[in-house]
Structure 1
Amino acid sequence: MIVYEFKVKGKEKQYQAIDEAIRTSQFIQNKCLRYWMDNKDSKVDKYALNKYCAVLAAEFPFADELNSMARQSAAERCWSAIARFYDNCKKKVKGKKGFPKFKKNCRSVEYKSTGWKLTLNRKSITFSDKKGIGTLKLKGTYDLNYYDIKQIKRVRLVRRADGYYAQFAIDADARIETQPSHQLVGIDLGLKYFIADNKGNVEPSPQFYRKSEKQLNRANRKKSKKFSQEKKKAHARQSNNYHKARNRYARKHLRVSRQRKEYCKRLAYSVIQSNDLVAYVRRSRCRRLDLNVKGLVRNPQLAKSISDAGWSTFREWLEYFGQKYGKVTVAVPPHNTSQNCSNCGEKVQKSLSTRTHVCPHCGYVEDRDINAAINILRRGLSTVGHTGTYATGDLPSWAIGCGLSSNGESVNVESPRL
């Protein structure tokens, strides 16, 4: 499954219609969640939620205006959150189990096989439901003529700070045969260096957020000055100047996010093309020995730097390109990879501020991250025979779900060239 993304162009009334469709999808999703919460004893499943969409369409005229399969797609979003909660409970995940929450700011609406139609040249798309979206022009460099219409399984309209986008989920094999490079690499993720490999090569952290922080803070102050507490207390709409300032602030954040994503994509592509096997530290939200990115972000001293690094994004792109080009990616647990000596194997305790590994047992001296990368590669090679079953712990991101993500981002596919 691959996802192509295009920017859509239309009139202001069409954009308002898209917003109305997004609000309707959010309404149906929240109504399905309430229906599940009120009928837990009757064992409500995803099929019952799909049937409940027809009840909502009969009760609310604005819900009936949305395409029937778009309503079912909203119900499926609700069920995916419920199923994730049940799965965490069965696995006895420590801490919060992720109880489904009501959506407040949805940014997308998803259509299945009906409710839309592409033009003959496939440069425009027409939505035929009663929301009045109409025909939208598609702006992008990808060509949909290579694929049959039946291969397009989903179409999603996404609202972002700089406009509206259309995403096409296409059932196609993205694998490409490449010549082997006969190279192996182990990489360690860090803050001083974004990645360091076992050969001593390092890639500096770009720190896109840090470099744009002054501009972001300035835009945030301008936005706050235009916010009226009186209107908030009166539940009145804020001024147009406030919403303009808010949009400018959101655009700056969107630019930083795209910079980080593009950097991670290019670096992951380079690593995959240069090596036949890539060993890296796995990360998860629940396993004790995994690199717990979510837990590390709670550290007030490191939260901003960790979020700015984009470790999870890099890992997702690494796994995607590995699957696409037929390369082996091995996720290993990070336990003691930076503490153990890569030369003699003895454990050398050191704090996070100690950036040089000095072994008192064998006298080996190396950068902390490079020492960890050597351990990661060695551990990856010791389990490489089990990568087919992913016995080392994690399924790669491409195997977990190749569809469109709930927030409108196409995390498992190549970003659009706009």
Structure 2
Amino acid sequence: MLVLEFKVKGKSHQYAAIEEAIRTAQFVRNKALRYWMDNRGVNKYDLNKYCRVLAREYDLVRELNSTARQASAERAWSSISRFFENCRQQVPGKKGYPRFKKNSRSVEYKNSGWKLLDPKHIVFTDKKAIGRLKLIGTWDLAFYGTEQIKRVRLIRRADGYYAQFCVKVDVREEIEPSGNTVGLDVGLKEFYTDSNGQSEPNLRFYRNAEKKLKRAHRRVSQKQKGSANRKKAVNRLGRAHLKISRQREEHAKRLARCVIQSNDLVAYEDLRIKNIVRNHCLAKSIHDALWYQFRKWLEYFGVKFGKITVAVNPAYTSQKCSSCGTIVKKSLSTRTHICQCGCELDRDYNAAINILNAALSTVGHTET
């Protein structure tokens, strides 16, 4: 599945109609969740049938396209099924009991309720009166057939409204094998250090923009609640956060693509970020480093280019000597690995070698 995103351009009444559609989708999702709470044994198909009942009871629901109503019910069932799966797997801590949405930002259509007029214009045909919107972006929708577009989402962000097209297409590409293998150790000092001794700097996008964000937060707090100036200040704050989010996402995506294209096997630590950020002294820096997103892009590009990605147990990768295997205890402040066998390496470099060795032994056993 390929997701193509465009910014949409319309008039103010069309943006208001999009907001109304988003609120209606949120209403359907919350109603479906309440129906599941009040009726034991309800399944996914019962929630889809319940959408017809809501359409008969509420005019605002009837105005929304039927497939958009079903998509909203499916969102409710997605949170329900995730809760059941966490209970089944006995995930430690909270299991994520489904909650009601208070501020949804998107509405999703399936096969109906919209029509492509040409590769740069789309019209929504339900009774929400969204109408014809212009698509601004570099993707060419004419390359794909209309039957390949399975979903269309309208999303509100701080800098405007966007349309996402979920296209059913094989995203795999064939590239020449490089014959290289690499292990990656992510960190806070460097974004990652590989088993070849190379490292990428941690750009710390949030830390560098923190002063600007604090100023934007102060301006929001200085405005009167409910005023137009406060809404403008909130929007400026949202744009600042959105810029940081995009910078970090693009940085992680670019590095992951380069690593996958340059190596046939990539090994990395199977980190549990949720547990690591319990250290409140390092939580902000860990979130700023975007380790989890970097791993997701590694796995995505691994599938796309047909490369092997292996998640390794992170236990003792920093403490173990990559030369003789001896455990050398060291604190986080100790940045150099020094072993009695004479091995002296950077701490992260030593860990990257251990990660690669563990991955190669695993691959050999599983015949990957």
Say which is worse superposed, 190-199 or 346-355, in terms of deviation: 346-355
In the other structure, the counterpart of 1:170 is 167
> 335, 341, 350: which one pairs with 1:371?
350
In the other structure, the counterpart of 1:343 is 323
Q: Give distance in 1, aligned partners of 2:49 and 2:302.
A: 40
**Residues 98-133 of structure 1, C-alpha deviations (whole Å, 9 max, x = no match):** 1001111110000000000001x3211100000010
Say yes or no: does 1:269 pair with 2:249. Answer: no
Say yes or no: does 1:29 pair with 2:29. Answer: yes
In the other structure, the counterpart of 1:248 is 236
In the other structure, the counterpart of 2:3 is 3
Are 1:330 and 1:387, in contact at CA under 8 Å, matched by a contact in 2? no
Output aligned runs, 1:278-317, within 5 Å: 278-282=266-270, 291-317=271-297
How far 1:148 sits from its partner (Å)?
A: 0.9
Say yes or no: does 1:74 pair with 2:95. Answer: no
In the other structure, the counterpart of 2:204 is 207
In the other structure, the counterpart of 1:155 is 152
**Residues 63-103 of structure 1, C-alpha deviations (whole Å, 9 max, x = no match):** 11000010000000000100011111111111111100111
Q: Give distance in 2, aligned partners of 1:104 and 1:385.
A: 49
Q: Give distance in 2, aligned partners of 1:388 and 1:70.
A: 44
Secondary structure of the residue aligned to 1:57 is helix
Secondary structure of the residue aligned to 1:301 is coil
Give the unaligned 5+ runs of structure 2. none
How far 1:221 sits from its partner (Å)?
A: 0.4
Q: Give distance in 2, aligned partners of 1:388 and 1:18.
A: 51
Secondary structure of the residue aligned to 2:37 is helix
- Cα distance 1:311–1:154, how it changes in 2: closer, same or farther (>3 A)? same
Instruction: Give me the TM-score of the superposition, normalised by structure 2.
Output: 0.98
Return the letter of the residue paired with 1:303.
A
- Quote the sequence identity (%): 63
How far 1:356 sits from its partner (Å)?
A: 1.2
Q: Give distance in 1, aligned partners of 2:343 and 2:161.
A: 55
Say yes or no: does 1:92 pair with 2:75. Answer: no
Q: Give distance in 1, aligned partners of 2:178 and 2:367.
A: 21
Return the letter of the residue paired with 2:349.
I
Q: Give distance in 2, aligned partners of 1:250 and 1:240.
A: 15
Return the letter of the residue paired with 1:57.
A
Q: Give distance in 1, aligned partners of 2:129 and 2:334.
A: 61
Return the letter of the residue paired with 2:200.
E
Are 1:32 and 1:52, in contact at CA under 8 Å, matched by a contact in 2? yes
How far 1:254 sits from its partner (Å)?
A: 0.3
How far 1:330 sits from its partner (Å)?
A: 1.0
Q: Give distance in 2, aligned partners of 1:9 and 1:74.
A: 24
Equivalences, count: 368
**Residues 136-168 of structure 1, C-alpha deviations (whole Å, 9 max, x = no match):** 000000001111111000000000000000000
How far 1:387 sits from its partner (Å)?
A: 6.2
> 111, 114, 125: which one pairs with 1:113?
111
Q: Give distance in 1, aligned partners of 2:367 and 2:172.
A: 17
- Cα distance 1:368–1:56, how it changes in 2: closer, same or farther (>3 A)? same
Say yes or no: does 1:104 pair with 2:102. Answer: yes
Give the unaligned 5+ runs of structure 1. 229-237, 283-290, 390-418
Instruction: Give me the TM-score of the superposition, normalised by structure 1.
Output: 0.86
- Cα distance 1:387–1:169, how it changes in 2: closer, same or farther (>3 A)? farther
Say which is worse superposed, 348-357 or 198-207, in terms of deviation: 348-357
Q: Give distance in 1, aligned partners of 2:272 and 2:267.
A: 18
Query: Could you list the runs of 4 or more consecutive aligned residues of structure 1 that deviate by over 2 angstroms after TM superposition?
Result: 385-389
Say yes or no: does 1:17 pair with 2:5. Answer: no
Are 1:183 and 1:274, in contact at CA under 8 Å, matched by a contact in 2? yes
